[in-house]
Amino acid sequence: MGILTRRVTLFLAFAAIFIASFYIFRGQNSQMFCSYTDPLICDFLSKIKDRGLNGFSGTYEETFNGKKNSVVTWSLQGKDMEIIHKNPVEEQMHFILKGEKVYLRDYKDQRWWEQSLREMEKYKNQLPFDPMVFQNNFKEMLLDENLKITQEKEDICLGEECVKYFFVDQNGQRLKTTFYVSKATALLRRVEEDAEVVTEISFFTDKKDILPPDLNIKKAPTGTNIFLMNFLERSEKIQDKPDYIKEIEENLNESTSSAAVQGINIENEF
């Protein structure tokens, strides 16, 4: 066997080993790239990095001064989204994103405002119960190299076996956010935040179709932040208001007109 032939044979052998190893490890969770020894948290981090909350539906509940002040149901399916906000009994907002259009119920006449997604995206509607807002904030915490994820205990959440985790900062201080991961699926099932506003978010994988309204539709005026204006109008009925609602209202009062309300940035507490 010549030198060239031996080299080709050796190269093919190494290539075969590499390909076999790739397929073996690809089927496993991302433990080999994960800094944690806990296989469940490694599997969870891999899934939430790839999937986020896409395909999830859930509930978002706020309690302030011992009273429940918000109950939100939401769903994310691909790029489509639906949010229904109650205070906690009366409906305060019904928002639908479907394709390139958004719809928002106007409770004055029970019709639906219709606006292009491009127009809505001009405004920073950083309301904390928006699933995309708390998804992004929560993912930032999970991927923050200055925070460590620590297992607390096994528990039952939403009727199944879960593991409860919390965050610890560089000073060894425990943060107020905890979350629960399903032992069976390694999917997120619950997030809790024990702060000024106590927040509980539950996650479900039942697929919910998001459909646009087909009746009683009216075009939203250009230059109007219908999403935020609707929320502020309904928030007037809230007697005991958390700071994030007060901040939105203060920014609105400082604006010269409703059309000028664009850059209000409300940080989620996660």
Between 254 and 67, whose confidence is greater?
67
Average pLDDT of span 231-260: 63
Q: What is the pLDDT of residue 215?
A: 92
pLDDT category of residue 159 using cuts at 50, 70 and 90: very high
**pTM across the whole model:** 0.74
**Cα(74)–Cα(59) distance, integer angstroms:** 6
- β-strand partners of 113: 104, 218
SS (H, E, C) 147-205: CEEEEEEEEEECCEEEEEEEEECCCCCEEEEEEEEECCCCCEEEEEECCCEEEEEEEEC
**Cα(132)–Cα(134) distance, integer angstroms:** 6
Tokens of 159: 């009727």
Residue 202 clears pLDDT 80, i.e. is over it? yes
**Cα(104)–Cα(231) distance, integer angstroms:** 10
Pick the CATH number of 50-260 from 3.90.320, 1.10.3470, 2.60.40, 2.50.20: 2.50.20
pLDDT category of residue 217 using cuts at 50, 70 and 90: very high
Q: Is 4 left (phi over 0), alpha (psi -120 to 50) or beta?
A: alpha
pLDDT category of residue 162 using cuts at 50, 70 and 90: very high
Residue 262 clears pLDDT 70, i.e. is over it? no
- If residue 25 lies in a helix (H) or strand (E), which one and from where to where? helix 3-26
Q: What is the pLDDT of residue 105?
A: 94
pLDDT category of residue 157 using cuts at 50, 70 and 90: very high
Structure confidence by residue, pLDDT tens digits, 120-149: 888 766 677 888 888 888 989 998 989 999
Structure confidence by residue, pLDDT tens digits, 28-83: 334 446 888 999 999 999 998 888 888 889 999 999 888 888 899 999 988 899 99
Can you spell out the DSSP letters for 123-151?
S----TTSHHHHHHHHHHHHH-TT-EEEE
Between 253 and 4, whose confidence is greater?
253
